[in-house]
Amino acid sequence: MEEATRIVSLTAAPPLHDTSLCFAVLKSRSRESALAEITELIGSACRDVPLLREALTRRERLASTATGKFMAFPNARTLAVRECRRVLARTARPLEWDAPDGQPVQLVCAVLSPAECTIEAHHESLARLAAPLRLARQRQRLLDAEDLDELAELWREYLA
């Protein structure tokens, strides 16, 4: 049975401006197609899908957003986005992402902010997503989640 993308609301402490977080399983086979898939996931929050895809691709060209330990944090502040969106996704198969440790990516945590969002708020949103993933045990539990409901439940637990 295929998993569908699920959008849920999480209550988060400030300074996160938007509490909408999209959970997904990416079916992509490459970093580029994963970035394209992420742009499609955020739906009405996106003003211009091609512009957002270009912003994410340009960011990856500057330096890989893979941090190692099977994680990547693609992000952009752009006019293409109406409101902040975050995507927590695991990949259906490990993806090459030019990680510093050489490991393929299995967890993708994207932060997409409108251009009017301050750089500090954008970085805070990134840090807030990254914090629960510092522990190997927590990353593994997200990877082992049976479905998107369990993934969302684990994430709520980590943010509590």
C-alpha torsion angle, residues 31, 92, 159, 115 (rounded to 10): 30
Q: What CA–CA distance (Å, rounded) separates 25 from 121?
A: 27
Q: Name the DSSP letter for residue 132.
A: G
Q: Given a cut of 90, is residue 6 above it in pLDDT?
A: no
Instruction: Categorize the per-residue pLDDT at 21 as very low, low, confident or very high, splitting at 50, 70 and 90.
Output: confident
3-state SS class at 23: strand
Instruction: Categorize the per-residue pLDDT at 5 as very low, low, confident or very high, splitting at 50, 70 and 90.
Output: low
- Domain extent at residue 39: 6-159
- Residue 41: its pLDDT value, please? 86
What CATH number should be reported for the domain holding residue 130?
3.40.930.10
Percent of the chain predicted with pLDDT > 90: 71
Tell whether 1 is covered by a domain: no
Query: What Rg value do the Cα atoms of the chain yield, rounded?
Result: 14
Whether 3 and 25 have beta carbons less than 8 Å apart is answered as yes
Q: Please state the pTM of the whole predicted model.
A: 0.85
- In the chain, the number of structural domains is 1
Q: What is the mean pLDDT of the chain?
A: 87
